Amino acid sequence: MFGWLLNRQMLTLSYIANYGYTDASGNYYITIDSQKCDGCGKCVDACPEKVLEIITDDYDDLVAKVRDEVVKNLKYICGPCKPTSGARELRCLMSCEKEAITHSW
């Protein structure tokens, strides 16, 4: 049993994925730490704009990812949750107990 655990540990990979872009107005990246993310999917339901999805990655682990369709528009799609007049607590960040999600802006 411990052998299996050890083996699993070695096979499981962790990486930091940055989804987003840089343009003349700034950096708009959502970063997901696959080591912390367990693919629970709470962030998917929490986001009113359905920015996130759960995928099976190259190493057969479930992990959250920013959907390809929205990755080039994050500044605008995340806009309603990020009013310039004062910060609001972000639903995606609050829904994630593992604190796997961070925003660059």
Partner 1 sequence: MAIVYAGWKEYSWKTSDKDWTTAKTITAGVDVGSVSSQALVLTDNDIFCYSNVHTGSSSPDSAHKAMNMALEGTGIKLEDVQFTVGTGYGRVNVPFANKTITEISCHARGAHWLFPSVRTILDMGGQDCKAIRCDEQGRLTQFLMNDKCAAGSGRSMEILGELLSVPVEDIGPRSLDIKKEPPTVSSTCVVFAKSEALSLLRGGVPLNEVIAAYCDALAHRVYTLVSRIGMEEDFVISGGIAKNLGVVRRLEKLFGVKAHISFEPQIIGALGAALFARELLEKSAST
Q: Is the dihedral of CA 69, 46, 91, 85 positive or negative?
A: positive
37 forms part of the interface with partner 1 (CB under 8 A): no
69 forms part of the interface with partner 1 (CB under 8 A): no
CB of 18 to partner 1, least distance (A): 4
72 forms part of the interface with partner 1 (CB under 8 A): yes
Q: What's the CA gap between 18 and 31, in Å, rounded?
A: 5
**Nearest Cα to 21, choosing from 85, 87, 90, 68?**
68
Out of 2, 4, 58, 86, the only residue in the binding site for partner 1 (CB under 8 A) is 58
Selected range binding partner 1 among 1-9, 22-30, 81-89, 94-102, rule: CB under 8 A: 22-30
Q: What's the CA gap between 17 and 88, in Å, rounded?
A: 24
Q: What's the CA gap between 101 and 95, in Å, rounded?
A: 10
Binding residues for partner 1, rule: CB under 8 A, are 13-19, 21-23, 27, 29, 57-59, 71-72
